[in-house]
Amino acid sequence: MATGKYVRVTVVLECSTCDKTDVKVEPGVSRYITQKNRQNSPDRLELRKFCHFCGKHTIHVEMKH
């Protein structure tokens, strides 16, 4: 059995354009939950996902815990 830190960790992705927009129709920030392999991708994860508040596909970045 592996001891210590787990290789697969759960990360939260947050829309990078929602927090920068001053005028919003609905308040809120789009967030997705996913997993990543810490050994294969030690950097922050960036994925294009659909933002329900922006109404288009935007880049979602990994949040800091």
Model confidence at 64, pLDDT cuts 50, 70, 90, reads confident
Report pTM: 0.76
Question: What confidence tens digit (pLDDT) does each residue in 2-44 have?
Answer: 566 788 999 999 999 886 655 555 567 889 999 999 999 999 9
Question: What confidence tens digit (pLDDT) does each residue in 24-33 have?
Answer: 555 678 899 9
**Into how many domains does the chain fold?**
1
* Structural domain includes residue 4: no
CATH code at 34? 2.20.28.120
15: domain range?
9-62
CA distances in angstroms from 1 to 9, 36, 38, listed in the order given: 17, 20, 18
* Structural domain includes residue 50: yes
Q: What pLDDT shows up at residue 48?
A: 96
Q: What pLDDT shows up at residue 54?
A: 85
